């Protein structure tokens, strides 16, 4: 079992650093219960599902308990109404302490899953918590026990396309409970039940996988590329 040895110190990442996909261990810190910055879009503040919709249409049947949304098993995934390209995402999750069904996932652009499951004191596996599902395990297993709040801070740079041809893979940095577990990793293709890759941005999906997982404090900062300044003569 690997243990956490890499703690980080600063979360103030400049837009240029993120766009280049150079989010290093020294650039980030634990953001548990972090307050969203002024430029953030608050996706869930504990009061309503206004920023989400049922992925397959119809009413959202998840519930809100003590300021957190909770999956109601077999009612379907939910996804943000808005689509996102490059961004920094913060969310917190808690696995149910009274059930063996702890499975869920955060799907970036509905394509790439960061696994949410109980891996506390368990052997490493391609589907463990914080894994880029079946594509890359986290560098460190820092999963907490069920019944305890945990945090993900995700820095994502979408794939680059020339028409319908992918010319650069998507890249991702994931900070789990304050430890960098994926550091500027290339994502080679869609994972698991993700949608096919393509040039268009897509929503963020939270998965119903039969576990009563809770989520709270979800916010996102979009990183929009700026044109290069013209040369002055």
* pLDDT value of residue 7: 36
pLDDT of residue 34: 73
CA distance 48 to 207: 18
The two tokens of residue 64 are 């809100």
Query: Taking the domains of the chain in order of start, what are their residue ranges?
Result: 15-222
CA separation for the pair 149, 135 (Å, rounded): 25
SS (H, E, C) the chain: CCCCCCECCCCCCCHHHHHCCCCCHHHCCCCCCCCCCCCCEEEECCCCCCCEEECCCCCCCCEEECCEEECCCCCCCEEECCCECCEEEEEEEECCCCCCCCCEEEEECCCEEEEECCCCCCCCCCCCCCCECCCECCCCCCCCCCCCCEEEEEEEECCEEECCEEEECEEEEEEECCEEEEEEEEECCCCCCCCCCCCCCECCEECCCCCCCEEEEEEEEECCCCCCCCCCC
Q: Give CATH for domain 15-222.
A: 2.60.120.560
Contacting residues for 8 by C-beta, under 8 A, at least 6 apart = 25, 26, 27, 28, 29, 30, 175, 178, 179, 180
| Average pLDDT of the segment spanning 202-221 | 98
Q: Is the pLDDT of residue 68 over 70?
A: yes
Q: What pLDDT, in 10s, does the model give residues 79-93? A: 999 999 999 999 999
Q: What local confidence, expressed as pLDDT, does residue 13 receive?
A: 35
Region 158-182: mean pLDDT is 97
Residue 233: partners with Cβ closer than 8 Å, 6 or more residues away: none
Is the per-residue pLDDT at 22 higher than 80?
no
Answer yes or no: is pLDDT of 33 > 70.
no
pTM beyond cutoff 0.95:
no
Backbone region of residue 206 per phi and psi (left: phi > 0; alpha: psi in -120 to 50; beta: other values):
beta
What are the CA-CA distances from residue 2 to residues 7, 74, 103, 124, 139 (Å)?
A: 14, 34, 21, 8, 8
């Amino acid at each position: 079992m690997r243990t956490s040895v890499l703690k980080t110190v600063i979360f103030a990442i400049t837009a240029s650093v993120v766009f280049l996909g150079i989010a290093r261990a020294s650039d980030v810190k634990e953001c548990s219960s972090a307050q969203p910055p002024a430029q953030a879009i608050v996706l869930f503040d504990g009061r309503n599902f206004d920023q989400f919709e049922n992925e397959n249409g119809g009413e959202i049947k998840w519930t809100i308990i003590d300021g957190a949304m909770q999956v109601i098993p077999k009612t379907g995934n939910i996804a943000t109404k808005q689509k996102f390209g490059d961004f920094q995402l913060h969310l917190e999750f808690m696995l149910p302490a009274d059930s063996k069904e702890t499975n869920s996932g955060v799907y970036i652009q509905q394509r790439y899953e960061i696994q949410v499951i109980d891996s506390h004191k368990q052997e490493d596996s391609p589907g463990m918590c914080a894994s880029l599902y079946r594509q890359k395990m986290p560098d460190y297993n820092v999963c907490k026990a069920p019944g305890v709040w945990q945090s993900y801070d995700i820095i994502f740079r979408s794939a680059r396309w020339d028409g319908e041809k992918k010319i650069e893979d998507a890249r991702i940095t994931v900070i789990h409970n304050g430890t960098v577990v994926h550091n500027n990793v290339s994502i080679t293709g869609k994972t698991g039940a993700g949608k096919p890759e393509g040039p268009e941005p897509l929503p963020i999906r939270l998965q119903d996988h039969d576990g009563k997982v809770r989520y709270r404090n979800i916010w996102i900062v979009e990183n929009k590329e700026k044109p290069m300044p013209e040369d002055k003569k």
